Amino acid sequence: MHKNHYEVVVVGGGISGSALFYELARYTNIQKIALLEKYEALATLNSKGTSNSQTIHCGDIETNYTVQKAATVKRTARMIVKYCLQHGYENKFMFAHQKMAIGVGDDEVAFMRKRYEDFKEIFPYLEVYEKDKLKEIEPKLIYDENGKERPESIVGVGVQGEYSTVDFGAMSESLVENAKKEKSKQADVFFNAEVVHIQRLGDIHYLKTRDGKTFTADFVVVDAGAHSLYLAHRMGHGLDFGCLPMAGSFYLTTKKILNGKVYMVQNPKLPFAALHGDPDILANGYTRFGPTALALPKLERYHGNKTVIDFIQTLQFDSKIAAIFKDLLKDKTIRNYVFRNFLFEVPILNKRLFLKDARKIVPSLQLEDIEYAKGFGGVRPQVLNKKERKLMLGEASVNPGTGIIFNMTPSPGATSCLGNAERDAKLACEHLGKTFDQAKFDEELVD
C-alpha cells in the first residue's frame, strides 16, 4: 500500500473541507483521513473573514429564499450555532447581532409584509418593525443628513438576539483543531499541497500535488471552490457545467453606523446578492456595505493572474455558454446591473456610485463615511448549467458515483458546511462500508 494512503482525502481547507474533515473524524469509524490545503494556512480564500459577509444565512431575512429553501437552510444554519455553543465559541468568533430585511417604498413594504406572513411559521421569532420602532433600534435607516425623516414608506422584518455572525475563517481552524483531537483517528493535514492531478486506477484514487508528492485514497471529496470544477473537468466529469467566477467587493465605513445587519429586498431579475450592511467583527464593528458583483476572468481574487488559464478551461466556453450569457444580457435590468458593477471598480467614480446605492439603506451616508475595502471580498463560483442553458443559483455537486465528489459552494455554502459535510460523510461511509453515528451527530448538532 502507498505510504500516503488514506481511506478519505479531502481537498481544500476552507470552511467546507474543514467541516467534512471534522465530521469524518468525530462521527464515523473511518480511521485514516487527510486534508490537503493548497496554501500555507486554512481558509485563506473565500472562507476568510474579510472575503464574505460573516453571516449565518438561515433564510429568515434573505428575501430571495423560497419557504422550502429557507426550511432546508434553517436546519444547517442551526448546526453552525450548536457547534459553536458546544465548544464555547460564542463571543469569540460567533456573535449575536440584531438583523433585519427592510422594504423601502410601497411595493417593497407590501412585499415584506406578505413575506412575514409566509415565513412566520418557520421563523416564529420574526418581528415587524414599523417606522417608530426603527427609529429606536436602527435610527440611521430613517433620518437623512439634515435630521429629517426619509419620505418613503419603510418597514423592517427581523429579530434581535439571535446568533447571526461568524468568522468562518476562525471556525475552519477550530474544526480542524477539534478533528485532530479525536485520538482514535489518524487525521493528517498537509499545507502547501496543491492538487494538480487526480487519476482513478482500479478502486484507488491517485492525487498528485504541484511539488510532486503523491497521495492515494479510497474516497475523495474536493471542496476547492471554483477549482473543484476545474479538477472535475480534468478527470472528464461535470462537462455539462461551466464556471462563472463572480467577485464581490465591499466598502467599509469609517465609524459605527448600523447596530446590526440590514438586508434589502432582492430584485428577482438579478441572480446575485442585494446590497446589505453588516457589522464587521474584524473591524471594530464598523459597518461593511456590499457586495458588488463583478464577473472576473480568474478563479482566485488576490493571487495575480495565475488562475486565468484555469478560468478559461473551467468556463468551457461554447455555443451553450454563449446562449446563457446572451439570455442574461438581453434583459435591460441585468445589463445595467453588470455595467454599474463594473464601474464600482473604477477609482474615484466607484465611491460616488456606490454611495448612491448605499443611501437606500442609510439616507444620511456621506462620501467621507465610506472607503473602498482593499483586499476584501472573494470569488463565488457561480455554476453555468449547459444542459439547461441557465445560471444556477446556490450550490452544485458533481458525483460520478466512482468514489469522488466535487463540490462548488457559493453562498450559502458556509452556512450549509456542516449539513453538506453530513451528506458527504454518509456517502463516504456507504462507499467504504463504514458507519456514520447519526445519533451522536443529532445529539450534538441538530435541534
Q: Give the other-Cβ count within 10 Å of 366's Cβ.
A: 11
Structural domain boundaries, residue 199 = 5-445
Q: Which parts of 210-328 are beta strand (E)?
A: 214-222, 241-247, 251-253, 261-264, 276-279, 287-290, 294-295
d(CA 390, CA 15): 27
405 close to 16: Cβ distance less than 8 angstroms: no
Hey, what's the cell of 447?
A: 435541534
Q: Is 171 helix (H, G, I), strand (E, B) or coil?
A: helix
d(CA 83, CA 171): 10
Summarised one tens digit per residue, pLDDT across range 337-364 is 888 888 888 888 889 999 999 999 999 9
* Band (410; pLDDT cuts 50, 70, 90): confident
Percent of the chain with pLDDT over 90: 83
User: What DSSP designation does 73 have?
Assistant: H
User: What DSSP designation does 125 have?
Assistant: T
Q: Residue 135 is part of a domain; what is its CATH number?
A: 3.50.50.60
Amino acid identity for residue 281 in this structure: I
Amino acid identity for residue 418 in this structure: L
Average pLDDT, the chain: 94
Q: What is the mean pLDDT of residues 65-82?
A: 95
d(CA 24, CA 436): 8
Q: Which parts of 297-442 are beta strand (E)?
A: 370-372, 379-385, 390-391, 396-398, 404-408
Summarised one tens digit per residue, pLDDT across range 142-188 is 999 999 999 999 999 999 999 999 999 999 999 999 999 999 999 99
d(CA 247, CA 269): 19
Give how many domains the chain has, as a whole number.
1
Q: What is the mean pLDDT of residues 131-136?
A: 97
Q: Is 318 helix (H, G, I), strand (E, B) or coil?
A: coil
Does 229 have pLDDT greater than 60?
yes
Does 246 have pLDDT greater than 70?
yes
Q: pTM of this prediction?
A: 0.96
User: What DSSP designation does 185 have?
Assistant: S
Q: Is 155 helix (H, G, I), strand (E, B) or coil?
A: strand
Hey, what's the cell of 9?
A: 482525502
Would you give the distance in Å from CA 81 to the centre of its chain? Answer: 16
42 close to 252: Cβ distance less than 8 angstroms: no
277 phi/psi in degrees, rounded to 5: -115, 130
Which distant-in-sequence residues (6+ apart) come within 8 Å of 330 by Cβ?
Answer: none
DSSP bridge pairs for 189: 35
Pairing outcome for strands 5-11 and 214-222: parallel
Summarised one tens digit per residue, pLDDT across range 290-325 is 999 888 899 998 888 889 999 999 999 999 999 999
